[in-house]
Amino acid sequence: MATATLEPKDVPETRPALRHTLGFEQPLAKLEAQVQELEALQSNKRLDYTAEIRQLRNNYTSLLKKTYENLTPWETVQVARHPQRPQFRDYIDLFCREFREIHGDRRFADDKAIVAGLARLGGHKVMLIGHHKGRDTKEKIACNFGCAHPEGYRKALRCMKLAEKFGLPVVTLVDTAGAYPGIGSEERGVAEAIAVNMMEMSRLRTPIVSVVTGEGGSGGAIGIAVADKVAMMEHAWYSVISPEGCSGILWKGSENAPDAAAALKLTSRDLKQIGIIDTAIPEPLGGAHRDPHTAAHSLEQYISKTLRDLKRCKIENLLERRYEKFRNLGIYLEKGARASARAG
């Protein structure tokens, strides 16, 4: 089983400034504010607070490590949704030496929620496909917040077929709350588009690697995630429904979303343990949003190594293993049945 080789590292002293602080990170924000205050005093009044600043930074790193080693599932969901978390186009800039975007599904439109194109990644020529949510308001609206219409999934499939034709592996990066459920989307067959993608990806005659980098919401995620190897970034989530959606169905409101997140087993640790994913890719201490370059390097290492391993396999063996991988999901035996099976 392929694993990433890069271990998480401590937060560097010069971190990118965070414009958004999560609720559970307030104690960290207070320590950071104290460091900034002492640095300002030291600079303006020529006073020496080096020892105090060093101690505060050590306290910050210790608290950050303790906090992120003990995240609840609901806190993990919040980290996966962090506004400064790297997105698809960020990863293109961070680890692709070349990227040529392909537009449109040749049926209806070009859905900007899914980006696809030819790329050079870690020495491999690949077809790179992924969700993009957008950064500012204008881009978020254009990308529909990463919630793809059917034409997005059809564009992705068109690009996968091109990859198959030219012998290129497919790499997909998943980050979506789910496929868009609007009237137009339903009229144009979003469920059919996702179903066709799942069917075609299961028999695509080229290696496929899929990584959930942020949110992995239901069919919107699996529409580009039927792969030979499926991985998740450490603080991503992947589930049949969002915690809020589950809470709304079971408790008639979103107040129980934290309980739903725990029940859904949606974290990378839980999903690796039950065999839904193959690998949990480590993130820098404090999450990918604190050190996008290290997160991108870790992701690139995993993809490159996994592609090298998959390229050594005969395509018929890959297809057989891909089929068995997904066919076996959800199969389990109750204790009594297990005992009967052993006795038989």
Q: What is the pLDDT along the chain (344 residues), one digit of tens a residue?
A: 344 434 444 444 445 556 788 888 888 888 888 888 887 777 776 777 778 888 888 888 889 999 999 999 999 999 999 999 999 999 999 999 899 999 999 999 999 999 999 999 988 999 999 999 999 999 999 999 999 999 999 999 999 999 999 999 999 999 999 999 999 999 999 999 999 999 999 999 999 999 999 999 999 999 999 999 999 999 999 999 999 999 999 999 989 999 999 999 999 999 999 999 999 999 999 999 999 999 999 999 999 999 999 999 999 999 999 999 999 888 776 766 555 555 55
Total domains in the fold of the chain: 2
Instruction: Assess whether 59 and 101 both reside in one domain.
Output: no
Residue-number span of the structural domain to which 42 is assigned = 23-70
Instruction: Assess whether 53 and 85 both reside in one domain.
Output: no
Instruction: Assess whether 125 and 220 both reside in one domain.
Output: yes
Q: Per residue in 154-188, is it b (16+ CB within 10 Å) or e — as a string?
A: bbbbbbbeebbeeebbbbbbbbbbbbbeeeebeeb
DSSP 202: H
Instruction: Assess whether 46 and 105 both reside in one domain.
Output: no
Instruction: Assess whether 187 and 40 both reside in one domain.
Output: no
3-state helix, strand, coil in the chain (%, to 5): 50, 15, 35
Instruction: Assess whether 32 and 141 both reside in one domain.
Output: no
**Residue 241 counted as domain residue:** yes
Instruction: Assess whether 52 and 137 both reside in one domain.
Output: no
Q: At CA 297, angle to CA 137 and CA 240, rounded to 5?
A: 60
Cβ neighbours of residue 242 under 8 Å, at least 6 residues apart?
Answer: 177, 178, 217, 218
pLDDT on residue 6: 41
**Residue 5 counted as domain residue:** no
Which two tokens mark 267?
A: 């974290």
Instruction: Assess whether 34 and 164 both reside in one domain.
Output: no
Which residues lie across from 138 on neighbouring strands? none
In this structure, which amino acid lies at residue 24? F
**Residue 42 counted as domain residue:** yes
Instruction: Assess whether 186 and 253 both reside in one domain.
Output: yes
Instruction: Assess whether 42 and 186 both reside in one domain.
Output: no
Strand duo 96-102 + 229-233: pairing: unpaired
**Residue 3 counted as domain residue:** no
Secondary element (H or E) of residue 260: helix 257-264
Instruction: Assess whether 27 and 101 both reside in one domain.
Output: no
Instruction: Assess whether 177 and 49 both reside in one domain.
Output: no
CATH of the domain at 90: 3.90.226.10
**Residue 323 phi, psi (nearest 5):** -60, -50
Strand duo 237-239 + 208-217: pairing: parallel
Size of the chain, expressed as the number of residues it contains: 344
**Residue 344 counted as domain residue:** no
**Residue 12 counted as domain residue:** no
**Residue 118 counted as domain residue:** yes
pTM (2 d.p.): 0.86
pLDDT on residue 338: 53
**Residue 13 counted as domain residue:** no
**Residue 64 phi, psi (nearest 5):** -60, -45
